[in-house]
Structures are given as C-alpha cells and as structure tokens.
Structure 1
Amino acid sequence: ELQVARAVAGGETEDVVFDSNPAAEKVTGRHYEICYLISPDNSQEALQEVIVKYKSMIEEQGGTIHRLEDWGRRPLAYAIKGKLDANYVLMNFEVDPEALTEFNTELNKDEKVIRFMTFSRKEAISEPSPMLGGLA
C-alpha cells in the first residue's frame, strides 16, 4: 500500500510516496531504480503530468511502484541540453525487463525529459531517500 508523507527538503515542503508494506507485493518482475530530470521550462502542471505518465506506464505494464519522489528543481553539475537546473524525480519499481525497454524508449523520445539513468536493484526500496534529508 502506497503512503504519502510530507517532507521538507531545501526549504520546500514536498510529498513523498512510499510503500508501507512491500512484503505484500507479488510482482514477478525485476527491481529497478530510475532518476530522471525534467526540463525546468515546464509548468508545475506539465511536471506533474510527466510524473503521472511514467508512473501509470509502469502500472499498466503490470509493474509495482515501491517509491516515487519529486525532489524538486535543483542545479545541475553542468549544462544538459542548455539547461543549468532541472526537476529531479526518483522512482523505484518492479516490472518485467521487456516493459523496462519500452519505458526507457518512451523516456528517450520525451522532449520534457532531458536525462535519465536506470539502475537494476536486488530488492525493492520503499524508504524515503537520503536526498529528502532522512525525513519520513
């Protein structure tokens, strides 16, 4: 069951979504973690649409979201596609590898996403990340 907690990071209040009962999930896919950067040129509404789009895409493929965090707008270490900052989103999920390929292809085509990186994980991660200052 996904839970929502309020956290304060960088002076801003954010909603943090985490799985309060990861043992109850019975998905046969593999575990992944993805961090994707959304262009700062997008409105807050467009930003939320992108987040919902990719969350829904995983769920429609029979996957399970274990953690979804919007880290907000942060500076980049170097310019990416001419941008000096971006909206960071972290998501941990479980899905079949075939669905992950389709997911990554969609991210590559999305002009609102300026960069992303996907990692394979050994197990589900549902606790709030350290980027939120350890607040839950």
Structure 2
Amino acid sequence: MPEVKHSYETVFILSTKLGEEETAALVKKFTDLVAANGTVDSVDEWGKRKLAYEINKESEGYYTLINFTSVPSFTAELDRVYKITDGVLRSLIIRKDV
C-alpha cells in the first residue's frame, strides 16, 4: 500500500555571516533535498530580516519558506539535515491542514 502524502511548509533561517553564494547554495541544497523526496509547490525567499531576539550573537538572518508535499517519514530526515548543517540558525516544519 503506498504511503499517504501530506502538504507541509518549512521555514529556515540562515546565518547572514555565510555570504550570498553560500546562502544560495544552502537554499538550493534544501530545495533539491525536498524535491528528491516529494514535490516542491513553491519556494519563497524572504531575504535578510531582523530577528526578534539574538541567536548565536546574530541579530539578522536570511529567511526562506518552502511549501511541499511528501510522505510523513521525510520530515524527520529534513529536520535532521537542518540540525547538522552549519549556518542554519532555526528551522520549522509544519503540516498544513487541507
């Protein structure tokens, strides 16, 4: 029996210390990872924004939102990759109610 797919959205904040090229590379890495394990509905790069509070002594971060559809087991892997990737300040994965 095939696994049921659900709609998700993920937001991640990258360090502004990375620079433009490294930031673009990480956004592409995460988008490609999601695309390999599901379908990417949209990618919305919000760009550099001021954080509500300092994280690791940084007051700004680069925000990106990805809407995607995948099997539920993939979200744990995506979260694991966020946690081990240098430059990711925060990440959040939410299942959307349809």
RMSD: 1.0
Map of 1:73-88 to 2, 5 A cutoff? 73-88=48-63
1:58 deviates by 1.1
Distance in 2 (alpha carbons) for counterparts of 1:118 and 1:59: 15
Match of 1:100 in 2: 75
Runs of at least 5 residues in structure 1 that lack an aligned partner in the other structure:
1-27, 124-136
Q: Is residue 75–residue 93 contact of structure 2 (8 Å, CA) maintained in 1?
A: no
Q: Which runs of 5+ in 2 are unaligned?
A: none
* Identity across the alignment (%): 23
Residue 38 of structure 1 corresponds to 14
CA distance in 1, matches of 2:36, 2:41: 15
State TM-score, norm by structure 2.
0.91
Residue number in structure 1 paired with 2:35: 59
Map of 1:129 onto structure 2:
none
Q: Which runs of 4+ in 1 moved over 2 A?
A: none
| TM-score (ref. length: structure 1) | 0.67
**Structure 2 match to 1:91:** 66
Bigger Rg over Cα: 1
Match among 85, 109, 112 for residue 87 of structure 2: 112
SS of the residue 2:21 aligns to: helix
Q: Deviations over 1:3-25 (max 9, x none)?
A: xxxxxxxxxxxxxxxxxxxxxxx
By relative contact order (CA 8 Å, sep 6+), the higher-ranking structure is 2
In the aligned structure 2, how far is the partner of 1:29 from the partner of 1:54? Answer: 19
Shift of 1:30: 1.0
